[in-house]
Chain A
């Protein structure tokens, strides 16, 4: 009887100690989270702004770009199976450019996420790859940080492409009869990015008016 009593007591004691440890360390984590959250949110906004500055010249618009954002529902046409975000740049209230999140699902190693800035006249302003798993040293030149040609990064060629100047069939790499260059040995990554940028540009130009007139912070439904 006393052995059972002692076993119960031991279990209860052990469980209470475990409970105390859990409570103490959860409190530690929760308070760190609360304490660091404002700083983390500010850093994330900074990082997002830096990314946008890379694709759209900061002087070309005058609105609070990060706040002038709409969400879109699932839009397979531009690779957004789970939806994405679109920022609207305006100057003096007039539309200037759209910054569209998009993705290519046909990279060499899965999904390539990017942001594309498209001026209202169909002129591409810039493209940056934000997440990818392409082979290091081979296909990862699509990310200018990993591109070994620092003077003329591959991704820079989009800055001169216009939607009207390049017709639909030419939105691919030269190897397939398109307009865009690629680096020898890694065509697949480049092809995936070029095609996705082409799709995003066409989609943005087509839906431009609806995208600019939607109220900031709203969510557009699923797009065809």
Chain B
């Protein structure tokens, strides 16, 4: 993998094709889990693990998978890996499992994993596929963290509530004090749509702004500093 490839994969995963904001493939976990920052980030971390493993496995086996039955095989591989991750969390990280337990099986239904396996890992070598899985996962995690943070802050007036289930001894940060009345809709499902809508609007505005600035730049400017990113090999 060349450094250029690494940059492209990272840029795609973290920003340009961000699973949460651009591909909109992770709506199920994004809406259900982002009621608090700790929940959101925890599930995001489990998703990174599954995506990296699934991309690695599919990419390594891609020459043995007939095109006609690739989808059932992919689902089989993803479901098996999620089961393994689920059981391992339950056995070895039981406290974290008590928080994430009900969400880990949901990763199977998460379209991002299947989408990356189908669009990327089935066509690329194991190393770049694994990096792609990790970067796509990190891209999802920062969106989930932001969304969970916004909803938790508006809805309950706290940040990091539930952190004691992951790091014993830490406690939630009561940002607005004990008298904050709460803003219920931010925690309820509609709040997830509102907050995600605002985030997507901001994402699009920033992209439009960047594009406009790139157009205004005189063609004589040193072009070497930002070569235009390759269009995603996968979209």
Chain A residues near B (Cβ < 8 Å): 13-14, 17-18, 21-22, 25-26, 28-29, 32-33, 36-37, 39-40, 43, 46-47, 135-138, 145, 148
Contacts and interface: CB of A to CB of B under 8 A. Distances in A.
Nearest to B72: A18
Interface string B65-102: 11011001100110010011001101110100110000
Interface of B: 35, 64-66, 68-69, 72-73, 76-77, 80, 83-84, 87-88, 90-92, 94, 97-98, 155-156, 162, 178, 182, 184, 187-188
Given A136-B35, A137-B182, A43 B90 contact: yes
Contacts of B162: 145
Contacts, number: 68
B90 A22 contact: no
A32 B84 contact: yes
By DSSP majority rule, is chain A's interface helix, strand, loop, or mixed? helix
Contacts of A137: 155-156, 182, 184, 187
Contacts of A21: 65, 73, 76-77
A36 B187 contact: no
18 contacts: A17-B65, A17-B66, A18-B69, A21-B73, A25-B76, A25-B80, A28-B80, A29-B84, A32-B83, A39-B92, A40-B87, A40-B91, A40-B94, A43-B91, A135-B187, A136-B35, A136-B156, A137-B182
A26 B77 CA distance: 10
B98 A148 contact: no
A36 B80 contact: no
A19 to B, nearest CB: 11
B98 A47 contact: yes
A136 B35 CA distance: 8
A191 to B, nearest CB: 19
Contact of B187 (A40, A43, A47, A136): A136
Nearest to B84: A32
Contacts of A26: 80
Contacts of B84: 28-29, 32
A25 B94 CA distance: 24
A14 B91 contact: no
Contacts of B65: 17, 21
Contacts of A46: 94
A161 B80 CA distance: 49
Nearest to A31: B84
B76 A22 contact: yes
A224 B76 CA distance: 47
A22 B76 CA distance: 7
